[in-house]
């Protein structure tokens, strides 16, 4: 059967993608950001999954105010990189895993979660920047990726609790797939940032580090954090962090397994307008 081997968490700042694509990653501003991912690139090469289930948010690229799915699973064979601002990134196309994606859709919907099934979708920095941070600049991404888009842009957005429960359902879905695939689940976006209004530029190191501590040690308690706390403490875009609870809910310890191993933890401010946070948790 398939299993979830690890979860990865990382911010998705679009300027990080631009820094890589424009050859600026060695500049003093960017060096400390990329240094935090040296371990991660090595780790991913040594712990190569068969599939990455990548939880991210679309930024009005694939979806718009015309149509806003709360949870959308990409079931296509491939996904084309696209982006706002800097334009489509010059990165490899994303190869999907239609068979596993369809199985997860079937299982998770039968577990009473409403997913939108998306057979054609472009993917923006929310998905491609985490891949770049973890893989560098390869000719092709190391394995198929199932994009899983969460609405954290237009209110009402899903609660941390619902995201955490969804993670549990995704773990059950993966573990009922009849092929011995190693699957990693990535939770992306965050950490604290606010891009508009009088509080634009807000970053909250204390909140972010407490979030990382609790995500590791007490995800069940963290799942109860209300929206208003994210928005007040981590800024309007800090709400992207609820997506990390989907990945965390899919780890074994949540289903009575052993606590995960913290393989890597990194935090840096600022990158563009955002605090960069990153964790790798391995199932034991």
Interacting residues toward ligand DHB by CB under 6 A: 12-15, 59, 193, 195, 237, 272-274
Cβ distance to ligand DHB smaller for residue 159 or 272? 272
CB of 260 to ligand DHB, least distance (A): 26
Q: Is-contact 272 200, C-beta < 8 A?
A: no
CB of 178 to ligand DHB, least distance (A): 37
Pairing mode of beta strands 3-10, 182-188: parallel
Cβ distance to ligand DHB smaller for residue 241 or 280? 241
Report CA torsion sign: 182, 132, 36, 186: negative
CB of 126 to ligand DHB, least distance (A): 7
Helix residue ranges, H only, the chain: 14-21, 31-35, 38-46, 98-110, 125-135, 160-175, 205-217, 219-222, 227-234, 242-249
Could you tell me what percentage of the chain is helix, strand and coil, using 3-state DSSP and rounding each to the nearest 5?
35, 20, 40
CB of 133 to ligand DHB, least distance (A): 13
CB of 16 to ligand DHB, least distance (A): 9
Tell me how many degrees the CA angle 210-214-216 measures, rounded to the nearest 5.
120
Catalytic residue among 97, 103, 193, 264: 193
Residue 273's Cβ-side half-sphere holds a number of Cα atoms within 13 Å equal to: 14
How far apart CA 250 and CA 174 sit, in angstroms, is 9
Cβ distance to ligand DHB smaller for residue 126 or 249? 126
Cβ distance to ligand DHB smaller for residue 133 or 143? 133
Cβ distance to ligand DHB smaller for residue 106 or 272? 272
Q: Is-contact 36 130, C-beta < 8 A?
A: no
Catalytic residue among 59, 103, 125, 264: 125
How far apart CA 175 and CA 195 sit, in angstroms, is 39
278 is catalytic: no
CB of 246 to ligand DHB, least distance (A): 17
| Encoded tokens for 202 | 């807000």
CA distances for 88 relative to 18, 70, 123, 125, angstroms: 10, 24, 9, 9
193 is catalytic: yes
Cβ distance to ligand DHB smaller for residue 49 or 130? 130
Residues annotated catalytic, as ranges = 125, 193
């Amino acid at each position: 059967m398939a299993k979830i081997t690890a979860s990865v968490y990382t911010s998705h700042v679009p300027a990080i993608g631009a820094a890589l694509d424009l050859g600026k990653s060695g500049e003093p501003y960017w060096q400390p950001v990329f240094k935090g991912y040296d371990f991660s690139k090595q780790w991913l090469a040594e712990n190569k999954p068969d599939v990455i289930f990548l939880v991210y948010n679309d930024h009005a690229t694939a979806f718009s105010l015309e149509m806003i799915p709360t949870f959308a699973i990409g079931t296509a064979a491939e996904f084309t990189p696209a982006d706002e601002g800097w334009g489509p990134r010059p990165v490899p196309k994303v190869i999907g895993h239609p068979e596993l994606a369809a199985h997860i859709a079937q299982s998770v919907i039968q577990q009473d979660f409403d997913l939108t099934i998306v057979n054609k979708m472009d993917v923006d920095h929310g998905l491609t920047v985490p891949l770049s941070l973890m893989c560098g600049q390869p000719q092709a991404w190391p394995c198929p990726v199932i994009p899983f888009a969460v609405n954290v842009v237009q209110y009402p957005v899903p609660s941390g609790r619902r995201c955490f429960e969804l993670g549990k359902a995704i773990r059950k879905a993966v573990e009922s797939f009849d092929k011995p695939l190693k699957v990693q689940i990535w939770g992306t976006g965050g950490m604290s940032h606010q891009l508009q209004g009088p509080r634009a530029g807000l970053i909250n190191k204390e909140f972010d580090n407490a979030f990382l501590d609790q995500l590791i040690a007490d995800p069940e308690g963290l799942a109860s954090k209300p929206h208003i706390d994210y928005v007040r403490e981590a800024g309007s875009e800090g709400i992207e962090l609820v997506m990390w609870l989907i990945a965390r809910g899919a780890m074994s310890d949540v289903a009575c397994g052993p606590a995960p191993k913290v393989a890597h933890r990194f935090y840096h401010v600022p990158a563009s307008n955002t605090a960069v946070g990153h964790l790798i948790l391995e199932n034991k």
